[in-house]
Amino acid sequence: MWRCKFLPMTTKQATFKSPQGISGTIYRDENETPTWFRPRGGKIHPSVFTLWKFPLLPTVMTHPHVIDVLQNGADLMLPGTIPPFDSRCSKGTVVGVVDSKHPSVIKAVGVCNLNLTQFSSVVGRTGTAVEILHHMSDELVALNKLVDIAVPDNVDNPLDKVVEQDNGNKDETLEGNEENVENSDFSETVTEATSDSHAEEEPTQESASETNKDDIEFGISTEDLDHLFIRATLQAIKVDNIDLPVSSSTFMSSHVLKNLPAMDSSYCNVKKTSWKKTAKFLKSLEKLGYLTTKGKGDDVTVTSLISKENPTIQNFVTHKTVQSTSNPSKPPTKKKKDHELNVVYLYKPTSKLRPIFNRIDKEFDNFYTSVEVRRVLDDYIKAADLVDKKNPKVVRLDDELSAATRLKESCPRDKLYSSFLTSFAVNHSIVKPGEPKGAMFKGEPPKIAIITEMRLGRKVVTRVQNFEHYFIKPHVLAEELRTKCSGSSTIGQSIQNPSITEVTVQGPHAKLITDLLNKDKGIPVSFIDVEDKTKKKKKK
């Protein structure tokens, strides 16, 4: 059962052909991250991304500088290894390559070309120790474009904890399993582990076939999930105030999904049901007499619902929902702020400020925060003795301050500071939670634009722009909106500015998207701009 823990819930597969002419199959997770690969006619191997979560392979240690050589396409030579070797490192065994600085982090995958267990010393020895199949700078790793995965400093093996837990309850079974694992070829074990989840036949052309592991060995079956979606609809009809007519995407996201029973949130997706699409789900509800719809294809509108006075609704027993368990009504906590992005404004002096910085001996080419800018101004006022003796709150302007602020007369300190700040070039940095600093950008940070508009006369869509500046990948956002809004989403270029990538989702979902960006992505609301173009402008 533990074998399924290192397989992603959703796995996609596609064929590949390298520049060297090698072809085979790549297995990817829901974020398009390569998790496994198999050369044509060969055995399946884990990628470094999988091994950074589950270090499944026996390892061969080398020196840190040798890793750079391996990333240039070289194999691991015997003199570059560090004994002693794992007892499983015999010829033909799939192994991971680590360096002495990070002995738990596998940075390359290969096959032993020699029986390494026979060597206690490698001084004066020759030969290829490991033939490298995959490393952390190759084309396979380059396919991971949707999410940023950093190389870890240390990797703990969670399977060790499973063995420790089983050791107290199933000593005899564990001894048999350990003997079997130690004496069997790892690749055969991996092939057996994946045979329950992946198709036996290798595709002849690129495909993306998704397999839900939970339906096979654990979790909620498709039949049970269908029943839960129907219950969620009945509860929505009973407890929600639904304004009709309502688009299918709004009906699903604002009512059905929010009334699903408390369960694993990964199942809160109509794609996991037997209907696969919202339109088919609503048509089945119409056959049951719970609602009526209008429209063709995927463009369906719910026009009426079964009466709340109907015995089916009156006798329906409500349940605890996903929303009530995942979003309890509690006051904001400090933990909520811990995941927020931090937008830092930094100011660089311009040429007209050089005399002021020279007078107080400050670095002219540095970046300063707003607090530091105020301190610079205070230091200069003190150094030039510009405080009005009759009124300490007023500052007399000399030639340098007049040129920098474009003010001609004496003025209050606060007004002077506001004008002084405009003489600096504005820059900003967006810092991720837990990181000391971020990349520097010129100008003001762009606001994420959420635009709701009407297309083709009656179809409402919501577009999202300028999100990439805040570390959000287009494909990841599109997938999240597709799930949360229960409507199709697309990625394309903005018509007004083709250099800007935008994600479009069907339905009016500005509030839902704002909550997603603010609560889940940590983007402050002040950097989100919402515009509703569906509302008619009032005539003057």
- The model's pLDDT over 251-275, given as tens digits with 9 standing for 90+, comes to 888 899 888 887 777 778 888 899 9
- Residue 39: the pLDDT is 87
What are the angstrom distances between the C-alpha of 211 and each of 14, 144, 346, 412, 481? 13, 20, 48, 68, 21
For the range 510-515, what are the long-range contacts, defined as Cβ-Cβ under 8 Å and sequence gap of 24 or more? 510/450, 510/452, 510/462, 512/253, 512/254, 512/484, 512/485, 513/450, 513/462, 513/464, 513/481, 513/485, 514/450
Strand-pairing partners, residue 461, are 453, 506
pLDDT band at 341 (very low <50, low <70, confident <90, very high): confident
pLDDT of 191 higher than 80: no
Q: What is the 3-state secondary structure (H, E, C) of 410-457?
A: CEEHHHHHHHHHCCEEEEEEEECCCCCCCCEEECCCCCEEEEEEEECC
The sign of the torsion formed by the CA atoms of 402, 403, 407, 412 equals negative
pLDDT class of 456 with cuts at 50, 70, 90: confident
What is the mean pLDDT of the segment spanning 290-301? 85
SS (H, E, C) 112-145: ECCCHHHCCCCCCCCCEEEEEEEECCCHHHHCCC
Return the pLDDT at 206.
39
DSSP H or E stretch at residue 475: helix 474-484
Q: Sorting pLDDT into bands at 50, 70 and 90, what band is 514? A: very high
Identify the CA nearest to 10 among candidates 354, 338, 269, 285.
269
Taking 80 as the threshold, does the pLDDT of residue 241 lie above it?
A: yes
Task: Identify the structural domains of the chain with CATH numbers, from first to last.
Answer: 2-143 (3.10.400.20), 222-315 (1.10.10), 342-428 (1.10.245.10), 446-532 (3.30.780.10)
pLDDT top residue among 163 and 395: 395
Torsion of CA 455, 246, 466, 484, to 10 degrees: -140
For the cut 90, the answer to whether the pLDDT of residue 98 exceeds it is yes
Report the candidate in 48, 147, 148, 160 with the shortest Cα–Cα distance to residue 105: 48
The pLDDT value given to residue 81: 94
CA atoms of 255 and 272, how far apart (whole Å): 18
Residue 392 has a pLDDT of 83
Contact criterion met (CB below 8 Å) for 278 and 248: yes
Q: Quick: pLDDT tens for 38-53.
A: 888 888 999 999 999 8
According to the model, what pLDDT value does residue 85 have? 92
Tell me what the mean pLDDT of segment 166-187 comes to.
45
Mean pLDDT for the stretch of residues 236-264: 86
Q: Determine if the pTM surpasses 0.95.
A: no
When mean pLDDT is compared across 151-160, 294-303, 312-321, 374-383, the lowest value belongs to 151-160
Q: Is the pLDDT of residue 200 over 50?
A: no
For a pLDDT cut of 90, what percent of the chain falls above it? 30
Residue 199 has pLDDT above 70, yes or no: no
- Is it the case that residue 158 has pLDDT exceeding 80? no
Please, which pLDDT band fits residue 208 given cuts at 50, 70 and 90? very low
Q: What is the mean pLDDT of residues 364-385?
A: 91
Do residues 235 and 258 touch, judged by C-beta distance below 8 A?
A: no
Q: What mean pLDDT is predicted for residues 224-250?
A: 88
What's residue 207's pLDDT?
A: 40
Residue 190 has pLDDT above 50, yes or no: no
